[in-house]
Copies of this chain bind each other. A is one copy, B any other.
Amino acid sequence: MKAHIHVTLKKGVLDPQGKAIENALKTLGFNNVKSVRQGKFIEIDIDENDPKQAESQAKQMSNKLLANTVIENFHVDILENQ
């Protein structure tokens, strides 16, 4: 079963990487870009058949390792048919 985890910076936390992308896009002529935020996307293949269990495990992984919950939020999606 596959878990898709998005880790994004919380609102109010400065995102220099996003800002750099925003400036680069404007330099390339994309002038209608209002803002850019960059996050991480992690796909984990879990050997588990119960979607509830898989989701619970993916949340534990995010809390323990993948996200720094002081400055980052995470969101877990479980793809049941894969």
Chain A residues within 8 Å of B, Cβ to Cβ:
6-8, 18, 21, 24-25, 28, 30, 32-48, 57, 60-61, 64-66
State the number of copies, please: 2
Q: Which residues of B contact A38 (CB under 8 A)?
A: 40-43
Q: Which residues of B contact A18 (CB under 8 A)?
A: 42
CB distance from A38 to the nearest CB of B (A): 5
Does the CB pair A40–B43 fall under 8 Å?
no
Which residue of chain B has its CB nearest to the CB of A64?
B28
Which residue of chain B has its CB nearest to the CB of A30?
B61
Q: Given that A34-B46, A46-B33, A61-B25 are contacting pairs, would A6 and B66 also be in contact in the complex, using a CB cutoff of 8 Å?
A: no
Q: Which residues of B contact A6 (CB under 8 A)?
A: 41
